[in-house]
Structure 1
Amino acid sequence: MANKSDYKKLTRLLNDSAVELIGEELVFKVHYWGAMPQHFDNPLHRHSYFEVCYVMEGEGYYYESDVEYPLLQGTLFFSRPGMWHQIKSQDGLALLYVAFEIDEARSKKESIHRYLQLLHNNRIVVPSADDTITAQTWRTLLTLCKQDHYLVKEAVRCFASALLVSFYPEFSQSLEYEETTDKQQVSAYLQRAKLFIEDNLTLSLSLQQLSSYLHITERHLSRLFAEKVGQTFSHYVQERRVQKSIELLLETDWTISRIAEETGFESIHYFTRVFTSKIGVPPSKFRKSQLSEIPH
């Protein structure tokens, strides 16, 4: 069991000896290493580099692009360059983390291209990662900081380099059925996608949010909508919002403002504009004309 002193030693040791990691195919420039026994909230922010974190103990949440991911002991997660994100924890997380980028001038082109595919990958959280090579390497580094040996720094550099290399296979793993063309599986994905959309129309739905829920890539989900539904994801969602609003206009006495909110439109003005574009008349006029035709 690591104590506060161990976390401080690991932070110092890594930042002293593992800021430039030279491998056969990739060279990494590390901006900083961190080992915190109690990490609480941080502000919404973004980086120009990768940051990978491992939860040793505690509970909390990781937020990225309006999606909330639970953090528990053993969770491995990473922040991609340019993505707004935030970590929150009420009681604090024991967290190990590293921020880095690839030294492209000193790395092999094919390896750079392969590693940078993580920029577009959908898998950013591994919930139970304790048995992965990545987690085991983190724990080895924590153990090494307790050693008093003249070769400790050399060992730390080796394990630190192996750690950064291990991120690619861990976060780029193809999930089962991800690119399947099996008709039954495709149908199941689309059914789950449509049910999720229908049940969450009040939310600001995104392709990333839905692909995370289904555990497939955004690219694959986008292609399923285009090829099997004949619409883009955003057009399908907007159409379902309008159809739901029609039902509410005819079946309830709710205000136009409440219907706009219940169907996920950001404002009554945007709702009115989209509805008028799709149906040909504003929602209030549509309701009045339809209800006047119902016999009393």
Structure 2
Amino acid sequence: MYHWSKSEERLNRYAGRLEGESLSFLVHYWGTIQHLTANSIHRHSFYEICYVDGGTGIYTDGNQMYPLYEGVAFCTIPGQLHQIKDVDGLNLLFVAFEPMERPSAQEVTVKYIEALQRCAVWTEHASDSPAIQIWKSMLLRSEADTSLPASLLPKLAHVLLKSFPSLFGASGSFESAPLLSSALQLVQKAKLYIRDNLGGPVSLPEVAAYLNVSERQLSRLFAESIHESFSSMVRTERIRAAELMLQHTRDPIKVIAERTGFSSVHYFTRLFTKFKGIPPAAYRAKWALEADHQE
């Protein structure tokens, strides 16, 4: 019914940065995988929403275990240890993302985040929900000329991500949810500052001074809020920014390394390869080849 791998490639190409008037999203990756294999216990610094389109398995969230079967959706919040195991023919749709704050609409963004934090981890009978119907409408269908055009994907993806709190039963609307805690607001502001200043050293004292908090307090906020150190967050953001530049610019590798704050091309290449499993030049070539196949 669907072209699974081509659907994933198309979504990752056209629905990565989703802009809205008051709420925008950065999608780290989309996944549409048949017969997913089990994975090890791990955590993310972003949100990940999954929907089971077939097969069975077990999802662990901290010390809790949830059954996976067709029609189930589940949500992983940043910093939470989780795992998918005991799989049998598991077909999964998933998306990893985070809201992007804008100074003019910060209140809407933090309310959306708070709504996701209140969401249930697991829900069943999701196949007929508006959110999942939108998700499936974005996939490439096996039948010729029945798929939606790629130009609609950004708008549909934005609506999908915006609808996730209601899919998981967050009470009311996130537009009227209570504000995020002051600690998490500081972490969000720190993330934005890091992203806006990746070309420089971006030190802990610098960011702490910008936020008017002590270095010790900022380190503790990162550890307690997203279970990630400050240095790890900076490294993750540098890799993320470099990945986007490799995808969407023709800038030389040396220039990308400089603009994302790496001390040398050698260090950039080594770190990028470690985290992405492929050197920067090969990553760019692979991305370009996949993009050409979608034309």
- Which bracket does the TM-score occupy, shorter chain normalised? 0.5 to 0.7
Partner of 1:123: 120
Deviations, residues 204-259 of structure 1 (Å, cap 9, x unaligned): xxxxxxxxxxxxxxxxxxxxxxxxxxxxxxxxxxxxxxxxxxxxxxxxxxxxxxxx
Deviations, residues 19-61 of structure 1 (Å, cap 9, x unaligned): 0001122110010111001112011000000000011111111
Kindly tell me: are residues 41 and 68 of structure 1, through their superposed partners in 2, closer, same or farther at Cα, counting changes over 3 Å?
A: same
The one-letter code matched in structure 1 to 2:26 is K
The one-letter code matched in structure 1 to 2:131 is T
Alpha-carbon RMSD:
2.4
Kindly tell me: are residues 151 and 68 of structure 1, through their superposed partners in 2, closer, same or farther at Cα, counting changes over 3 Å?
A: closer
CA contact (8 A) 2:73 2:123 kept: yes
1:78 Cα deviation after fit: 1.0
CA contact (8 A) 1:27 1:107 kept: no
List structure 1 segments (4+ residues) > 4 angstroms apart after TM superposition.
143-151
1:45 matched to 2:78? The reply is no
Deviations, residues 151-207 of structure 1 (Å, cap 9, x unaligned): 8121111211111111022224339xxxxxxxxxxxxxxxxxxxxxxxxxxxxxxxx
Q: Decide which of 127, 149, 152 is 1:155's aligned counterpart.
A: 152
Partner of 2:60: 63
**Whole-angstrom distance in 1 between the partners of 2:166 and 2:147:** 32
Partner of 2:81: 84
- SS at 1:40's partner residue? coil
Kindly tell me: are residues 101 and 153 of structure 1, through their superposed partners in 2, closer, same or farther at Cα, counting changes over 3 Å?
A: same
The one-letter code matched in structure 2 to 1:68 is M
Q: Decide which of 168, 171, 183 is 1:171's aligned counterpart.
A: 168
**Whole-angstrom distance in 1 between the partners of 2:165 and 2:145:** 31
Unaligned runs of 5+ in 1: 176-296
Q: Relative contact order (C-alpha < 8 Å, sep 6+): which is higher?
A: 2
CA contact (8 A) 1:54 1:77 kept: yes
Normalised TM-score (structure 2): 0.54
Structure with larger Rg = 1
1:74 matched to 2:81? The reply is no
| Identity value in percent | 38
Unaligned runs of 5+ in 2: 173-295
**Whole-angstrom distance in 2 between the partners of 1:110 and 1:135:** 27
Q: Decide which of 100, 105, 108 is 1:103's aligned counterpart.
A: 100
For this pair of structures, how many residues does the alignment match?
172
**Whole-angstrom distance in 2 between the partners of 1:158 and 1:171:** 21
Q: Decide which of 27, 30, 33 is 1:33's aligned counterpart.
A: 30
**Whole-angstrom distance in 2 between the partners of 1:44 and 1:146:** 38
CA contact (8 A) 2:15 2:27 kept: yes
1:143 Cα deviation after fit: 4.4
1:149 Cα deviation after fit: 9.4
Normalised TM-score (structure 1): 0.54
The one-letter code matched in structure 2 to 1:129 is A
Deviations, residues 58-107 of structure 1 (Å, cap 9, x unaligned): 11111011100011101111100000000114323110111001111367
